[in-house]
Structure 1
Amino acid sequence: MSDDPAESREYRIGELAAATGVPVRTLRYYQERKLLPPPRRVGRIGLYSEDHLARLRMIGSLLDRGHTLEGIRELLSAWEQGRDIGAVLGVEKAVTTPWSHETPVTMSLGELAELFPGEVDQESLKQAVELGILQMDGDQVTHWSRRQLDASVALVRAGVPLAEVLAAGRQVQRGLDELAAVFVEMITTHVVGRIHDQDLDELTRTLAELRPGAQVAVEAGFARAMDRRVRAEIDKVLGRLTSS
């Protein structure tokens, strides 16, 4: 043990709570969930070390990154078993880094209504929120994607009712959810499932390399499907025109 008093300091549970900003009740809960090792006992007093303090700061950092407590417990368990937590977190980052880089747009309800004249009502707002397209905060709304907002405005200005745009969005979302499930299952089974058979750094690189391939496959497949559908509809329109 170091002779440095700052490094060898021990804390009672109230002092640990004050030092970390974590309530005593939460500290006890962490101990029950095996996230925090038990303290050193001196009679009935529990004494926590600087290691406990560092661990709590790590837990807080992981919570801020969106991890669940169960996920944190597994990460800490991997760390305790000798895995490099940096490598483990590298895999986590490769998996959870957002696949889209959309720019959200915040505006007032009045500004939204001006983009869709006569189309914005309580029902359309409710549907947009349910689809995850909009978030509402009082009189302010945030659309998750500038590009999608612009596309929706263009469709409505071309004559497509907003209700139809939202209905199409719901159908597209169902299809995309199913497609995402296919890719996730494939990657989980054939790549992540081999996590014990390969180096974590290699797994991180592999996952990063797969991301653009999955996106290209979806974009190229959709473009090809649109080509087929548009040509078929054009043929129908031309057929009606030539027969009239």
Structure 2
Amino acid sequence: MDELAEKAGITVRTLRFYRERKLIQPPRREGRIAWYDDTHLARLHTISTLLERGHTLNGIAELAEAFDHGRDVADLLGVGAPTEEEPVRLTPEELAARFEGEVTPENLAAALDLGYLGTDGGDIVHISRRLLDVSSALVREGIPLAEVLQAGARVREHADALAALFTELILRHAPEEDLHRLRPLARSVVEAELSLALDRRMRKRD
């Protein structure tokens, strides 16, 4: 504990307080010896950064609980599953910087429930660089992250229905191994139809 506190730049008393508040995971024990590792040190650095950004200890405790109960990234992506999306590894500090002031326990829980975020040790993994970039861009434009996540949940429902439609269409006329090869065609249809739908919406508002 003394070594961990020294590396984190805090007092042992503060470290004990964080342990009592369950802000960090318990150490690994071998007999009477308690072993801390880099995951504990990373969490302490995260706590310090969030405190500097104005988060309260209660808020940090809620964030920590959400992180600790988040799904493992392997559960989200599937081992070896084919994907066109690029996952992004983030520290909690980088996530907070991406969505300045919007990383609340409620928003974090919503993102975890949606499957946008997974945990990997002390890091967070977002399942899609494109979704991460678009979400942070919308927040920078003044749209609350909570509403962005709500929209994402609705889009997910429609996307699942479209994926089912194209999967059934392709499998009626092609072998299953062609699904991955033909998926860009399905994506192009959806992108074109969405573009046309936005055109119609904008014309109605003029």
Q: Give TM class, smaller chain.
A: 0.5 to 0.7
Question: Partner of 2:150 in structure 1?
Answer: 167
- 1:4-28 deviations in whole A, cap 9, x for unaligned? xxxxxxxxxxxxxxxxxxxxxxxxx
Matched residues in 2 for 1:225 and 1:211: separation?
21
> 1:210 aligns to what?
182
Alignment of 1:26-175 (within 5 A): 97-98=82-83, 100=84, 102-175=85-158
- Counterparts of 2:183 and 2:116, CA distance in 1: 23
2:89 and 2:123 in contact (8 A); partners too: yes
Could you tell me whether the CA contact under 8 Å between 2:167 and 2:179 is conserved in 1? no
Change (3 A) 1:210 1:138: closer
Structure 1 stretches (4+) deviating beyond 4 angstroms? Answer: 206-209
Which deviates more, 158-167 or 120-129? 120-129
Deviation track 1:199-227 (CA, whole Å, cap 9, x = no partner) reads xxxx85x6566333212111111111122
* 3-state DSSP of counterpart to 2:125: strand
Structure 2 unaligned spans of 5+ = 1-77
TM-score, structure 1 as length reference: 0.47
Q: Kindly provide the amino acid, as one letter, of the partner of residue 90 in structure 2.
A: M
CA-based RMSD = 2.4
**Alignment partner of 1:228 is 2:200:** yes
> How many positions carry a matched residue from both structures?
129
Tell me the CA shift for residue 177 of structure 1: 0.1
- Counterpart position of 1:184: 167
**How far apart are residue 182 of structure 1 and its match?**
0.7
Partner Cα distance (2:96, 2:120) in 1: 16
The structural deviation recorded for 1:106 is: 1.1
**Alpha-carbon distance change, 107 to 173 in structure 1, aligned in 2, over 3 angstroms:** same
Q: TM-score, normalised by structure 2?
A: 0.55
> Which residue identity lines up with residue 223 of structure 1 in the other structure?
S
Find the residue that maps to 1:141 and give its secondary structure.
Answer: strand
Query: What 5-or-longer segments of structure 1 have no aligned partner?
Result: 1-64, 68-95, 193-202, 236-244
1:230 deviation in Å? 2.5
Instruction: Give the 3 Å change call, closer, same or farther, for CA 232–138 of structure 1 in structure 2.
Output: farther
Identity over aligned residues, as a percent?
A: 47
CA distance in 1, matches of 2:117, 2:155: 16
- Cα deviation digits, residues 40-71 of structure 1 (max 9, x gap): xxxxxxxxxxxxxxxxxxxxxxxxx969xxxx
- Which residue among 191, 197, 202 is the counterpart of 1:219? 191
Aligned to 1:25: none
